[in-house]
Amino acid sequence: MDITALTLSAAAQGIRERAFSISDLVGAYLDAIAEKDGAIHAYLDVFEDAREAALEADKKIAVAHPLDIETLPPLFGMPIAVKDNILVEGKQATAGSKILEHYTASYDATAIRKLKEQGAIVLGKTNMDDSAMGSSTEYSAFGPTKNPHDLTRVPGGSSGGSAAAVAAGMAIASLGSDTGGSIRQPAAFCGVVGMKPTYGAISRHGLIAMASSMDVIGPLAKTITDAEMLFSAIAGPDAFDATASPVKHSMFDKDMKRLRIGIPKEYFGAGLDAEVEKAVRGTIQKAEKAGAQVEEITLPHAHLALPAYYIIVPSEVSANLARLDGQRYGHHAAYADTLYDVYARSRDEGFGIEVKRRIMLGAYALSAGYYDAYYLKAQKVRRLIADDFIKVFERVDIIAGPTTPAPAFPLGSRSNSPLEMYLADIYTVAVNLAGLPALSMPAGTSATGLPIGLQLIAPRHADKKLFDIAKRIESLV
């Protein structure tokens, strides 16, 4: 039996039944990484010390009373991959950027601390677009990740390494971060489940900040149940992040006949690939056949989500990334004579092109004379976009549509065209602007075998309800 084929929940059960050891499991994943990652490049750093952690965990199980084994935390001994913008103490945290190439984390992110408290084992750090800006992982300063389903195509991004690692059987589950689709879009491209929680559901403490009003950590996994296990382990309030909120006890335990699904007409317009439309509509029809009520809804400001996003995010980026100054940590330019030169040269040498583009755009939007026209206007439009969702959720439980307009695109096809790259996130950014929970789940494949993702969007704080509904739909696919 190939134990890397097991889901997280099945592997957790296997360990409790002593069908295999944690060392077997962790070893199988490290072996899979050694065998496959040369071609895929999902990892920036692999933790060989995971074997020792596994041995320690096995010792605990060996001496444990059967009753103690039943009460082990759900993620005990589970090998998890972590995006390289989430801090793991004593390990590198590059955020995919040259500016943090030699940076070592001095503390654990809250999400990591909670994983470790459960006894989960971190397998390594995964590749990503520079500073989490990008939709293909091609902007990584350390080379692109390849899509495991087709090595000539991108895995999506920015959490491309985390998605590819799960898709290729190189991690049982992983953590990513999502500011505009960076968990859901690569999950769709790689054929795995990826969940973006309600803003604040998971502490951002120890997540390298990009756009703080939208950044959120979330799980990528093989199944909805697995993603929920990971979410539940790391969610909740945190003294280190005042925006971190308690998980609300929302749920959907009703008959499928009482499930109301809204289909936004704006997400099925021009630009949507025919195969994606067919697969997504087909999955929704299965839910309808199972009794769900499906109705067309409208999000009138949907077309303004990307424009608002590309003012608000660069503005927050330009402020947030000012802390990378070549002075206290990160890349430091040699041959800089003045303090100004230390700042300006370190930053020019350290940041990748997309990061510089966004810093420039943000600095422009926030500069004297332009603030009202760009930043303030975008924040007002953000309110209109959020209100569109609030209105729709008076009538439906969940919104369903495509995660991306098309399946994974070929490597190199968009990396020189920023606007084309931005369009890969056209259905995902509005959710971040509104702060809602959403997930992408597999909904079939194209004729050439490329995965297609179905996106489900739920009201704020209805993360648990989102998982419940997704599980119902998953069982129909």
Binding site for other proteins (CB under 8 A): 103-104, 106-107, 199-200, 212-214, 239-240, 242-243, 245, 301, 303-304, 306-308, 310-311, 318, 322, 325-330, 332, 336-345, 347-348, 351, 353, 356-357, 359-361, 363-364, 367, 374, 376-384, 386, 418-419, 433, 435, 460
248 or 278: whose CB is closer to other proteins?
248
Q: How far is the CB of 460 from other proteins (least distance, A)?
A: 7
Choose, from 158, 315, 346, 415, the residue flagged as catalytic.
Answer: 158
Please give the full DSSP string across 109-162, using - where no structure is assigned.
Answer: -HHHHHHHHTT-EEEEEE--SGGG--SSSTT-TT-PPPBTTBTTB---SSSHHH
- Rounded to the nearest angstrom, the gap between the alpha carbon of residue 456 and the centroid of all alpha carbons in its chain is 15
Q: How far is the CB of 186 from other proteins (least distance, A)?
A: 21
Residues 77-111: b if buried by 16+ CB within 10 A, e if exposed = bbbbbbbbbbbbeebbbbbbbbbbbebebeebbbb
Question: Which amino acid belongs to residue 421?
Answer: M
Q: How far is the CB of 302 from other proteins (least distance, A)?
A: 12
- Rounded to the nearest angstrom, the gap between the alpha carbon of residue 474 and the centroid of all alpha carbons in its chain is 19
In whole angstroms, what is the distance from residue 379 CA to residue 381 CA? 5
For strands 438-445 and 451-457, give the pairing: antiparallel
22 or 86: whose CB is closer to other proteins?
86
34 or 353: whose CB is closer to other proteins?
353
In whole angstroms, what is the distance from residue 386 CA to residue 388 CA? 5
User: Active-site residue 182, yes or no?
Assistant: yes
Q: How many CB atoms lie within 10 A of CB 348?
A: 11
Q: How far is the CB of 374 from other proteins (least distance, A)?
A: 7
64 or 304: whose CB is closer to other proteins?
304
Q: How far is the CB of 351 from other proteins (least distance, A)?
A: 8
Please give the full DSSP string across 239-296, using - where no structure is assigned.
Answer: TTBTT--PPP-----S-GGG-EEEEEGGGGSTT--HHHHHHHHHHHHHHHHTT-EEEE
14 or 180: whose CB is closer to other proteins?
180
200 or 442: whose CB is closer to other proteins?
200
Choose, from 83, 196, 464, 465, the residue flagged as catalytic.
Answer: 83
Q: 410 forms bridges with which residues in the sheet?
A: 153
Asked if 45 contacts 91 with a C-beta cutoff of 8 angstroms, the reply is yes
Q: How far is the CB of 90 from other proteins (least distance, A)?
A: 9
Please give the full DSSP string across 204-217, using - where no structure is assigned.
Answer: -TTBPPSSTTT--E
37 or 138: whose CB is closer to other proteins?
138
Choose, from 23, 131, 135, 182, the residue flagged as catalytic.
Answer: 182
Question: Which amino acid belongs to residue 242?
Answer: A
41 or 382: whose CB is closer to other proteins?
382
Q: How far is the CB of 112 from other proteins (least distance, A)?
A: 14
Q: 235 forms bridges with which residues in the sheet?
A: 202
Give the contacts of 466 (CB within 8 A, at least 6 positions apart): 195, 398, 437, 438, 439, 456, 458
Nearest Cα to Cα of residue 80 among 240, 237, 236, 229 = 229
User: Active-site residue 159, yes or no?
Assistant: no
In whole angstroms, what is the distance from residue 463 CA to residue 477 CA? 21
Q: How many CB atoms lie within 10 A of CB 357?
A: 15
Under DSSP, the state recorded for 372 is I
User: Active-site residue 91, yes or no?
Assistant: no
311 or 470: whose CB is closer to other proteins?
311
Give the angle 218-308-439 at the CA atoms, nearest 5°: 25
Q: How far is the CB of 176 from other proteins (least distance, A)?
A: 18
Asked if 211 contacts 179 with a C-beta cutoff of 8 angstroms, the reply is yes
Q: How far is the CB of 372 from other proteins (least distance, A)?
A: 10
Active site residues: 83, 158, 182
